[in-house]
């Protein structure tokens, strides 16, 4: 079986060497051709993305958790419209796999439609599916067009497409290696039938999304051929080559600004499936030397028998989300930007598991690789005059990925994830300013949150409140952006089945930056048999829809449950409530240096509490008028600095006590050996 | 700029590197912290903070919006001169502290000497 090896995957991430014909075509570009041509590819992709969003059915599609892209004939990415950058750098693996193994049988022809959702072959995880269409001109393959989107169903052991309980790939439902699903521009009916049975929980969404991918990729194909007709085949080939060369030069120029050295970051995760468990989710050593960057993951915890593992290219995908949001923010989304970057994955770690591993919930671990990248990059970049303002703590990544399945108020079968509805994690605090409040979905910064009314019209839920989550941001000179909270009530149906994925209930995710604090953990919260509707009907004047008051004073009566965020499937009845949270961003810098007036602003915006202003930021102020007493604030802050000097221990003294400690044994069942996280034995999977 | 700061670059918000003398300094109070070929954290004061003091529980019970103090601690690093909080790490109790910054000083000096880099406003700039 030609399952791609790690070496193949890493090699295929790199742009192929230019062919003599490509070089010749690129040399023929006239002045201005590159700039105009590159913009035309942007226009083609943006139009296709619009089509994609409008023709998708799943809420990830509606939210734009997707990518449309153009590749060279050799499979190198030259530009993309996002959506999410998760897929950006890694899809060449799939195209190059098809070209290596299927060029003869079944062959690659004009009118083909290829498809895959298998992370073993180059994807993120199996809800992320991609349609790939070769672009032929007069019988010659000149490019590829792709459309990728997360659909929230895969026919797995649980609804929602990301089975928390899956212990091997065989429990994840549809895992389809690259396969030709259509010929002569038509999807094959026999494939459609095979495919559709995996989406029986939500057939309308499942099939619509498949068609949306194919339609979108084909629109890109049509537009590329229009460009060929207008400017000639050589122009398009030369343009793509020049885009690769220009992007690579831009990336290398940026890397030049970084000092040589080793930069490390370590991040943890606190749940493996539904089991609270501590793992060293990413131990990153980032080495910069002579114009190259090497990501090494030695020291990361071993793989485990759950779906919380990540195939290697999916780790790269998560890192691409950081790179294109920050370091490469002004470069095109192009394979060659990663030309100066290499990856080293030891075998058997959670970031490089066995081929039998389940990886459907990989995003919870993959995100930690992104978080580690933020910190390591910050320490490498801060000295650079041109790059330091790109330094930012990682985004808040804990969130309530609540799955909602059953029959809707329209009597339609549904299976969807409510994380799109939040789409509002806080950005990490930045070197020059605060993180943005509710900046976006950490996996898809440019996705959009659908209106609450849209959620309510399609799912049997009412969104009872949607607010910034007070005190969710990490504190610092530049605080992290605030996360958000929503409250969902089962409405208009007798009941639904709901379960939840996620992490971050016991340990804050990500690391803060340069003396800041991380953001708060989130529990899983539900209230059964509530009297909320009754109170609303009766018009209880005491009832406020403030999330903190509802939780802390339990103003809504019923059976409250606080538990691990990841929850097993349960039936919830009409009127029952579920709380959803998106994490705040970690903070940047010492909170004692935050401008007191900024703290007052945060209070006014209900982003922090009086407790935080007083105890963390040490502000003295009039609570009614929110007027700062500068002198007293300065005294309080000076006193706190003095306390630090008194309680702080020298490194040696600290280590003497610290090294005797360890977390409880039950927390370390998936960690590996303590503390170096080596494998303790093979993983057995069904 | 004072002469002693001309060879100094900012490495983090609070950590400066004197390239010529190969020393770490506090950016806020200027205190010389120690040898730049060593982990700068060895020169700082360190405190094991109960995370509930920063992220207090909002409700009772095991899952309460507060980190589990048996699972994670906040390790705070202070400048021994002025008490500024230079760094924090959220680590399981007993987990080794991270040597996070290991700049290749020889390479940096070479690039500065060759004119590839210059220092402007305490930051590195690539010469055109």
Report the C-alpha gap between A87 and A97 in whole angstroms.
16
- Do residues A547 and A577 lie in contact, with contact meaning Cβ atoms separated by under 8 Å? no
* Token pair recorded at residue A74: 């050799």
Average pLDDT over residues A37-56: 96
Q: What is the pLDDT of residue A419?
A: 64
pLDDT of residue A520: 92
Residues of B in contact with A505 (CB under 8 A): 63
Q: Tell me how many residue pairs between chain A and chain B have CB atoms under 8 A apart.
A: 221
B1 has pLDDT over 90: no
Residue A144 lies in a domain: yes
The pLDDT confidence band at residue A62, using thresholds 50, 70 and 90, is confident
What is the pLDDT, as a whole number, of residue B17? 98
Q: Has residue A375 been placed in a domain?
A: no
Backbone angles phi, psi at A510, to 5 degrees: 75, 170
Strand arrangement, sheet containing A128-137: A77-82, A66-72, A140-150, A128-137, A113-116, A179-183, A186-187
CB contacts of B14 in chain A (<8 Å) are 514-515, 589-590
Rounded to whole angstroms, the Cα distance separating A314 from A302 reads 17
3-state secondary structure of A330: coil
8 A C-beta contact, residue A339 and residue A15 = yes
Chain B residues with CB under 8 Å of A650 CB are 45-46
CA–CA separation, A512 vs A371, rounded Å? 9
Q: Tell me whether residues B85 and A591 touch, CB distance under 8 A.
A: yes
Q: Taking residues A564-590, what's their average pLDDT?
A: 95
pLDDT tens across A531-572, in order? Answer: 998 999 999 988 888 999 999 888 999 999 999 999 999 999
- Alpha-carbon dihedral sign for residues A88, A94, A98, A101: positive
Mean pLDDT of chain A: 95
CB contact under 8 A, A512 and B90: yes
Query: Any chain A CB within 8 A of the CB of B121?
Result: yes
Helices (H), A382-508: 419-422, 452-458
Q: Give the per-residue pLDDT at B83.
A: 98
Q: Is B1 exposed, middle or buried (0-12, 13-18, 19+ CB in 10 A)?
A: exposed
Work out the average pLDDT over A406-422.
84
Note the pLDDT tens digit of each residue in B71-99: 999 999 999 999 999 999 999 999 999 99
CA distance A120 to A453: 38
Instruction: Find the mean pLDDT for residues A245-270.
Output: 97
- pLDDT reported for residue A604: 96
Q: Domain span at residue B115?
A: 3-126
CB A357 within 8 A of CB A170: no
pLDDT of residue A109 exceeding 90: yes
The burial of A337, by beta-carbon neighbours within 10 Å (0-12 exposed, 13-18 middle, 19 or more buried), is given as buried
The pLDDT of residue A68 is above 70:
yes
- CB-facing half-sphere around the CA of B92: CA atoms within 13 A: 26
Q: Which pair of tokens denotes residue B53?
A: 């003091």
Contact B100 A548 (CB under 8 A): no
Beta bridge partners of B117: B126
More confident residue, A623 or B128: A623
- Tokens found for residue A134: 């070769």
Count structural domains, chain B: 1
A416-448: pLDDT as tens digits: 888 656 778 999 999 999 999 999 888 888 888
Distance from CA of A74 to the nearest CA of B (A): 34
Give residue A568's domain range. 393-592
CB A378 within 8 A of CB A510: no
How much is the CA Rg of chain B, to the nearest whole Å?
Answer: 19
Task: Flag whether pLDDT at A528 surpasses 60.
Answer: yes
pLDDT digits (tens, 9 = 90+) for A221-230: 999 999 999 9
What pLDDT, on a 0 to 100 scale, did the predictor assign at position A356?
A: 97
What is the reported pLDDT for B3?
Answer: 58
Tell me what percent of the residues of chain A surpass a pLDDT of 90.
89
B64/A contact by beta carbon, under 8 A:
yes
Backbone φ and ψ for A652, nearest 5 degrees, come out as -65, -45
Is B70 in Cβ contact with A507 (below 8 Å)? no
Q: How confident is the model at residue A397 (pLDDT cuts 50, 70, 90)?
A: confident
Domain boundary, last residue among A225, A248, A271: A248
- Taking only the tens place, the pLDDT of each residue in B13-68 is 999 999 999 999 999 999 999 999 999 999 999 999 999 999 999 999 999 999 99
Complex confidence, ipTM: 0.97
Q: Which residues pair with A489 in a beta bridge?
A: A462, A577
Give the mean pLDDT of A1-18.
94
Answer yes or no: is pLDDT of B2 > 80: no
Q: Which residue, A197, A223, A248, sits at the end of a domain?
A: A248
Q: Can you give the pLDDT at residue B5?
A: 66
Q: A166 to each of A171, A407, A471, how far by Cα in Å?
A: 5, 24, 34
Q: H helices then E strands: how many in chain B?
A: 1, 10
> Which of B51, B85, B103 has the most A C-beta neighbours within 10 Å, making it the best mutation to test the interface with A?
B85
Widest pairwise Cα distance in chain B: 62
**Of A589, A266, A672, A654, the residue nearest B98 (C-alpha):** A266
CB A318 within 8 A of CB A410: no
Helix (H/G/I), strand (E/B), else coil: A568 = strand
Mean per-residue pLDDT for A310-321?
97
> What is the tally of structural domains in chain A?
2
What is residue A421's predicted lDDT score, i.e. its pLDDT? 63
Give the span between the Cα atoms of A64 and A54, in whole angstroms.
9
pLDDT at A82 over 90: no
What tokens does A325 get?
Answer: 């949001």
In a domain, A337, yes or no: no
Give the pLDDT confidence score for residue A83 in this predicted structure: 86
Greater pLDDT, A237 or A414: A237
Q: How far is A663 from chain B (nearest CA, A)?
A: 5
A141-145, A389-393, A439-443: segment of lowest average pLDDT: A439-443
For residue A615 the two structure tokens come to 């105890």
Let me know if residue A609 belongs to a domain. no
Give the list of residues 6+ apart from residue A193 with CB closer than 8 angstroms, or none.
none
Residue-level pLDDT at B29: 98
Last residue of a domain, one of A202, A227, A248: A248
User: Cβ contact (<8 Å) for B107 and A551?
Assistant: no
Q: Judge whether A352 lies within some domain.
A: no
**Facing residue for B93 by CB, picked from A378, A520, A661:** A661
Least Cα separation, residue A509 to chain B (angstroms)? 9
CA dihedral A300, A301, A305, A311 (to 10 degrees): 0
Of residues A138, A128, A205, the one with CA closest to residue A162: A128
pLDDT at A544: 87
């Amino acid at each position: 079986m030609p399952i791609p090896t790690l070496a193949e995957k890493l090699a295929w991430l790199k742009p192929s060497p230019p062919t003599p014909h490509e070089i010749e075509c690129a040399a023929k570009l006239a002045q201005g051709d590159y700039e105009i041509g590159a913009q035309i590819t942007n226009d083609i992709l943006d139009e296709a993305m619009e089509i994609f969003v409008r023709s998708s059915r799943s809420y990830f599609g509606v939210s734009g958790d997707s990518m449309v892209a153009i590749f060279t004939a050799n499979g190198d990415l030259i530009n993309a419209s996002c959506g999410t950058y998760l897929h950006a750098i890694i899809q060449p693996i799939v195209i190059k796999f098809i070209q290596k193994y299927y060029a003869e049988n079944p062959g690659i022809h004009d009118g083909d439609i290829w498809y895959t959702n298998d992370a073993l072959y180059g994807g993120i995880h199996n809800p992320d599916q991609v349609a790939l269409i070769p672009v032929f001109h007069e019988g010659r393959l000149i490019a590829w067009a792709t459309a990728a989107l997360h659909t929230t169903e895969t026919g797995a052991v649980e609804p929602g497409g990301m089975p928390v309980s899956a212990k091997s790939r065989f429990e994840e439902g549809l895992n389809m290696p690259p396969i030709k699903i259509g010929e002569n521009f038509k999807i094959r009916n026999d494939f459609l039938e095979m495919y559709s049975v995996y989406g029986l929980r939500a057939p309308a969404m499942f099939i619509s999304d498949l068609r949306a991918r194919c339609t979108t990729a084909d629109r890109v194909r049509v537009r590329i051929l229009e460009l060929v007709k207008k400017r000639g085949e050589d122009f398009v080939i030369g343009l793509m080559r020049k885009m690769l060369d220009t992007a690579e030069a831009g990336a290398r120029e940026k890397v030049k600004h970084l000092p040589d050295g080793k930069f490390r970051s370590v991040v943890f995760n606190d749940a493996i499936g539904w089991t609270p468990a501590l793992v060293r989710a990413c131990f990153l050593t980032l080495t910069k030397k002579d114009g190259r960057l090497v990501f090494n993951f030695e020291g990361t915890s071993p793989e485990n028998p759950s779906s919380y593992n990540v195939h290697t290219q999916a780790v790269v995908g998560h890192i691409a989300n950081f790179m294109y949001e920050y370091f490469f923010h002004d470069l095109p989304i192009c394979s060659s930007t990663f030309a100066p970057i290499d990856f080293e994955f030891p075998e058997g770690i959670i970031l490089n598991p066995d081929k039998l591993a389940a990886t459907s919930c990989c995003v919870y671990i993959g995100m930690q690789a992104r978080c580690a990248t933020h910190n390591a990059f910050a320490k490498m970049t801060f000295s650079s005059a041109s790059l330091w303002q790109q330094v930012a703590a990682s985004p808040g990544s804990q969130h309530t990925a609540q799955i909602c399945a059953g029959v809707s108020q329209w009597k339609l079968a549904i299976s969807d994830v409510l994380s799109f509805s939040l789409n509002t994690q806080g950005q990490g605090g930045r070197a020059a300013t605060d993180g943005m409040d509710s900046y976006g979905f950490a996996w898809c910064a440019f996705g959009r949150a659908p209106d609450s009314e849209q959620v309510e019209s399609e799912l049997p839920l009412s969104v009872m409140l949607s607010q910034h989550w007070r005190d969710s941001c990490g504190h610092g000179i530049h605080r992290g952006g605030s996360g958000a909270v929503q409250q969902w009530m089962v409405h208009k149906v007798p009941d639904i089945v709901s379960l939840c994925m996620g992490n971050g209930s016991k340990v804050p995710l990500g690391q803060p930056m340069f003396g800041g604090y991380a953001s708060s953990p989130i529990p899983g919260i539900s209230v059964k048999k509530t009297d909320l509707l009754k109170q609303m009907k009766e018009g209880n004047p005491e009832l406020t829809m403030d999330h903190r008051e509802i939780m802390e004073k339990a103003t809504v009566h019923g059976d409250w449950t606080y538990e691990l965020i990841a929850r097993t499937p349960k039936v919830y009845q009409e009127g029952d409530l579920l709380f959803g949270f998106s994490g705040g961003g970690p903070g940047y810098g010492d909170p004692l240096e935050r401008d007191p007036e900024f703290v007052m602003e945060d209070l006014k915006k209900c982003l922090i509490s009086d407790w935080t202003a007083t105890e963390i930021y040490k502000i003295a102020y009039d609570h009614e008028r929110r007027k700062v007493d500068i002198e007293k604030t300065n005294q309080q802050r000076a006193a706190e600095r003095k306390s630090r000097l008194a309680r702080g221990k020298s490194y040696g003294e600290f280590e003497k006590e610290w090294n005797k400690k360890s977390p409880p044994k039950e927390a370390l069942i998936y960690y590996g050996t303590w503390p170096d996280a080596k494998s303790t034995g093979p993983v057995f999977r069904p | 700029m004072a002469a002693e700061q001309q060879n100094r670059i900012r490495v983090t918000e609070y950590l400066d590197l004197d390239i010529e003398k190969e020393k770490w300094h506090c950016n806020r109070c200027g205190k010389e912290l120690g040898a730049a070929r060593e982990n700068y954290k060895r020169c700082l004061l360190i405190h094991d903070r109960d995370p509930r003091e920063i992220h207090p529980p909002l409700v009772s019970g095991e899952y309460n919006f507060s980190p589990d103090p048996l699972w994670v601690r906040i390790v705070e690093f202070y400048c021994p001169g002025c008490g500024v909080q230079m760094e924090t790490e959220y680590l399981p109790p007993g987990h080794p502290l991270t040597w996070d910054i290991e700049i290749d000083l020889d390479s940096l000096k070479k690039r500065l000497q060759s004119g590839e880099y210059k220092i402007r406003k305490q930051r590195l700039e690539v010469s055109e």
